[in-house]
Chains A and B, each alone.
Chain A
């Protein structure tokens, strides 16, 4: 905790996060943060419906850091996913500490 729910969009595999209105968003900043088990359970219920509705696949919770006032991933893997970054012909370098 705190957590955000992430998944891949079914039709194209794009990384998405569960947003404030139950929609799946591309940008982690727009994700809903669960600060306790009870709110995580609510998010998981919403996500379950999205899986059944064929919007997303492979839902799981990630740990985020809120110290900058917005969610940022704690693990390297999730930093890479959140950056939606390709490695070639892409000049956007990803700062990973």
Chain B
């Protein structure tokens, strides 16, 4: 993990002192709301339907047990006892009082955390592969470069007031688990000539009102050139990005208006002009950062396969957990364990203070105090010895945290929706709860297999509905909540945007509609064929015909 140095801590303390003063000035009437709003947003503080919402950055989703415990403390002391993992690998607290925020920011700073750049038209929290540093298919740990980008982009004077918000994702594995095709800039670590490593750069991806799959910007960028090249990309965007129209201000619109070839040409000219000016880090600084992410020394811990086999045969729930929640680690004696905050009925991604503390304890005991937040709103313990899996399972089960299963229809991604969000048109959480209740039988959910179902309460798409195999978008239809269904989205490799299936449904009809779609899939799939593969093979028509036949 990256550890703050004195410079980082002093910067954060100064920034928190500044915001404490700004809050006091607002409460004293020295600042109007119009004057205060941009200041609070720069510190991650929104005013939502019921209260202030504080969005806290978890850089590239990496968090320590100590930090997680502190989040639990914040939830208990200053919120209503729970928090919400977001699709940007952050956490949000939904019931925050303005008067408490300076103290909360101080509590965060005690564990090297903050809420800076989680809002506003700046470079937002960099996201990455939640399996970073542990994945069996990893070329290089992407957290090194996510941290390089984080440091470069924090308080970057030129890019603090961009035309619109700007999102980076970095992945270093063969499988994309960071949805890089749906970021303003997606970075993929790849092998280069003569054993070197570099980056394949993508640009202009995103969801929201105008969804785009990112286009390739550069096939291979040597590692030492990263920051100067990114700076050139941002500079051309900052220069030409539209500030006259909120809906056309993202880089995806610029890239598609100019054409990626012309955008690339302009970036190359700017890069050649400025690359010697010093944005790129000296090699020793990269090495200093790299040292923070050195792989932990994991002792050989061969699993007792007889005990595991016996536990699997005695307990079908453990067997399922082992099949679905455990992923390969680069060390054969170890595994990556996922904790899905998605058991039927739970608001997707919500975690109580006690659960945060229990997971932090488990991380200390079994995963070297290391945890990750996923953009699917779950947590990951990245370094669990296979010999400890039975104990870990029982500990998580006692905490009520083994009922969620990653990747199944019940692993719903959902934004807070109209239950909390000022921008939403419709609620997301009750729809997610109704669907997960409908598919609550774990055996049936597993028989259905891999199926990503995502729900957004408005077109801003925080719930990633565009990239759900089944996507659900809440719309306001003459004052009532309706839900539009899309099929065929995919966030990872072979990325695609879902296609709208037909007219929207009222809330009460959504679970049956999803049941109908799943039924069409089950009737059409060939052996072992996952939902997305079936959809891509047979197209939308059979789904449409079955779904709308009776309407």
Contact = CB atoms under 8 A, between A and B. Distances in A.
Interface of A: 8, 10-15, 51-54, 57-58, 74-77, 80-81, 84-89
B350 A87 contact: yes
Interface of B: 26-29, 33, 47-52, 80-82, 94-99, 346-347, 350, 352, 418-420, 426-427, 429-430, 479-481
Contacts of A76: 418, 426-427, 479-481
The DSSP consensus for interface residues of chain A is loop
Contacts of A10: 26-27, 98
A80 B49 contact: yes
A50 B363 CA distance: 49
B456 to A, nearest CB: 16
Given A13-B50, A75-B479, A81-B49, A87 B419 contact: yes
A85 B52 CA distance: 14
A6 to B, nearest CB: 11
Contact of B419 (A15, A54, A85, A89): A85
A54 B98 contact: no
A53 B32 CA distance: 10
Contacts of B81: 89
A17 to B, nearest CB: 13
A76 B506 CA distance: 13
Contacts of B479: 74-76
A15 B27 contact: no
A51 to B, nearest CB: 8
Given A58-B33, A89-B81, A14 B50 contact: yes
Query: Which 10 A-B pairs have CB atoms at the shortest separation, nearest pair first?
Result: A12-B97, A13-B51, A13-B52, A88-B350, A11-B99, A87-B347, A87-B419, A87-B429, A57-B33, A54-B29
The DSSP consensus for interface residues of chain B is mixed
Given A54-B27, A74-B479, A88 B99 contact: no
Contacts of B430: 87
Given A13-B52, A13-B96, A88-B82, A77 B347 contact: no
B51 A77 contact: no
B55 to A, nearest CB: 14
Contacts of A53: 29
29 contacts: A10-B26, A10-B98, A11-B97, A11-B98, A11-B99, A12-B51, A12-B52, A12-B98, A13-B47, A13-B52, A13-B96, A13-B97, A15-B50, A58-B33, A58-B47, A76-B481, A80-B419, A81-B49, A81-B50, A84-B50, A85-B50, A86-B50, A86-B94, A86-B95, A87-B429, A88-B350, A88-B352, A89-B82, A89-B352
B89 to A, nearest CB: 20
A85 B94 CA distance: 11
Contacts of B99: 11-12
Contacts of B347: 87-88
Contact of B49 (A12, A51, A77, A88): A77
A12 B214 CA distance: 40
Nearest to B80: A86
A86 to B, nearest CB: 6
Nearest to B430: A87
Contacts of A54: 26-29
Nearest to B84: A88
Contacts of A52: 29
Contacts of B94: 86
Given A12-B51, A89-B81, A89-B82, A80 B95 contact: no
A11 B524 CA distance: 56
A52 to B, nearest CB: 8
B16 to A, nearest CB: 19
Contacts of A80: 49, 418-419, 427
A94 to B, nearest CB: 9
Contacts of A74: 479
B47 A8 contact: yes
Nearest to B37: A57
- With a 10 A CB-CB cut-off, give which of A13, A51, A84, A89 has the most chain B CB atoms: A13
B257 to A, nearest CB: 34
Given A58-B33, A81-B50, A87-B420, 12 more contacts: A12-B52, A15-B50, A54-B28, A54-B29, A80-B49, A86-B50, A87-B347, A87-B350, A87-B429, A87-B430, A89-B81, A89-B82
Nearest to B82: A88
A15 B97 CA distance: 12
A91 to B, nearest CB: 12
Contacts of A57: 33, 47
A76 B475 CA distance: 12
A67 B549 CA distance: 39
A21 to B, nearest CB: 23
B54 to A, nearest CB: 11
A14 B49 CA distance: 8
Nearest to B507: A96
Nearest to A15: B50
Nearest to A76: B481
Contacts of B29: 52-54
B128 to A, nearest CB: 28
A44 B481 CA distance: 30
Nearest to B420: A87
Contacts of B346: 88
Nearest to A54: B29
A76 B352 CA distance: 27
A85 B419 CA distance: 8
A57 to B, nearest CB: 5
A14 B47 contact: no
A7 B50 CA distance: 10
A1 B420 CA distance: 26
B22 to A, nearest CB: 14
